[in-house]
Amino acid sequence: MVQKPLIKQGYSLAEEIANSVSHGIGLVFGIVGLVLLLVQAVDLNASATAITSYSLYGAV
């Protein structure tokens, strides 16, 4: 049985940069969203359960 060599397929530099930028933007939006959820919870005098839930949801 003849085995064919594996060809490693990679991404171009432009694709890697676009991937990094899009993930960075997503990270920033996630952090901002978490902060907004926690501020809203504190402003509404939410219970400890609600604040914990917001924190866990924002951490995911």
In the chain, the amino acid numbered 30 is: G
Domain assignment of residue 40, yes or no:
yes
Look up the domain containing 34 and give its range: 24-59
pLDDT in tens, 10-56: 899 999 999 999 999 999 999 998 899 889 888 888 889 888 888 88
Distances from the Cα of 50 to the Cα of 20, 28, 32, 53, 59, angstroms:
33, 23, 18, 5, 14
pTM: 0.68
In a domain, 42, yes or no: yes
Q: How many domains does the chain have?
A: 1
Quick count: other Cβ atoms within 10 Å of Cβ 54?
20
Longest dimension (CA), the chain: 70
d(CA 48, CA 36): 16
Spatial contact of 48 and 56, defined as CB atoms under 8 Å apart: no
What pLDDT shows up at residue 21?
98
